[in-house]
Amino acid sequence: MTSMTHEAREITGGVDTHGLTHHAAVIDLLGRHLADQEFPATIRGYRDLLDWMRSHGTLAAVGVEGTGAYGAELARVLAAAGVTVIDVDRPDRKTRRLKGKSDPIDAYAAAVAVASGRATGTPKSRDGVVEAVRVLRVARRSAVKARTQAMNQIRNLLVSAPASLREQVTGLDRAVLIRTLARLRPCEDLARPLAATRAALRLLARRHQALDEEIVGLDAGIRPLLQQAAPALLELFGVGPETAGQLIASAGDNPARMRSEAAFAHLAGVAPIPASSGRTHRHRLNRGGDRAANNALHTIVLTRMRHDERTRVYVERRTKEGLSKKDIMRCLKRFVAREVYRALTTTPRGQLTQTDLIPAA
């Protein structure tokens, strides 16, 4: 009879992540708490954390909280070292009320969630072109919001502006309005309301122009990345650069982590949730998932309902069957989710046919 050595013992790790430090813990196959320790959130700290875990035995997997935030770089380092990384949700409030809250408790809870099989999610790798698209879209989205805010402020100022100024720009479309206001001459006497309004409008218009240029530049950088990351997705009817960017960002650089198109449908919040009881058999709307991805699917469906003849035929048929417009759109979003999953994972470029673009009649 041989005894199990310390090095051969299989262990599972768990990490509670924070901005400056990460707290790690390890447990054995029986769930016994072996040790926990805090490490700095630096490259050296990540390596020390991995070496420390491996010093307790054979590392089977590591559960990491916040792989999309504070734990993103740690997850990349562990994956590069050949360690299986599992995305672990933070404990809910009820669990924390019952068991308390501390870094060691959360780290051990992450390890237990992995060892018990309760946590099985594969995190996004965040190490490829899709991650580049995501971060550029963050800057673009911020620029679009700032441009909209500048335009709203311009219109609000014009409502109460002196009539002599307001009448100069009445009836102009947005592009001409911005160019006209950007050419206003400044006045040194800002104590006069007219002069102050002219100065404010000039600054806002020039800010609008600068944001326009910023958005154009970001679009020029994002488009070739989208072609590289998901050419088949862009070939789908109704999918443009903005919706494609959001969908691939939601799927990540490793969309194969979603084991089926049903898993992607749940991610996008378009998978119906069973709500049956007794003799009542029904499903309710899924309000979970990535709402930005859900909005992208909604935009694609609206485009198809307006411009795709086969989709319009489908809507007409389902309307005659008694379905409401909302129910029809939910059905279409589910079909679109299936197509998107195929385009992101298995369908080569150019292999999609027109029959793939609409649910079967």
Q: pLDDT 10s digit of each residue in the chain, 361 long?
A: 444 445 578 999 999 999 999 999 999 999 999 999 999 999 999 999 999 999 999 999 999 999 989 999 999 999 999 999 999 987 766 667 777 788 999 999 999 999 999 998 889 988 899 999 999 999 999 999 999 999 999 999 999 998 988 988 988 999 999 999 999 987 777 888 889 999 999 999 999 999 999 999 999 999 999 999 999 999 999 999 999 999 999 999 888 888 889 899 999 999 888 878 887 777 777 888 899 999 999 999 999 999 999 999 999 999 999 988 988 998 999 999 999 999 998 644 334 333 344 444 3
pTM: 0.81
Residue 151: predicted pLDDT: 96
Task: Report the pLDDT value the prediction gives residue 358, as an integer from 0 to 100.
Answer: 44
Amino acid identity of residue 284, one-letter, is R
Q: Which amino acid is at 189?
A: D
pLDDT at res. 356: 41
Kindly give the pairing relationship between strand 21-28 and strand 10-17: antiparallel
pLDDT value, residue 108: 93
Assign 338 to helix, strand or coil: helix
State residue 127's pLDDT score: 87
Please state, in angstroms and as integers, the Cα–Cα distance from residue 27 to each residue in 49, 80, 109, 132, 336, following that order. 15, 22, 10, 36, 43
Alpha helix stretches (DSSP H) within the chain:
43-54, 72-80, 93-99, 103-115, 129-159, 163-169, 174-182, 193-229, 231-234, 241-251, 261-267, 291-307, 309-320, 325-345
pLDDT, position 6: 54
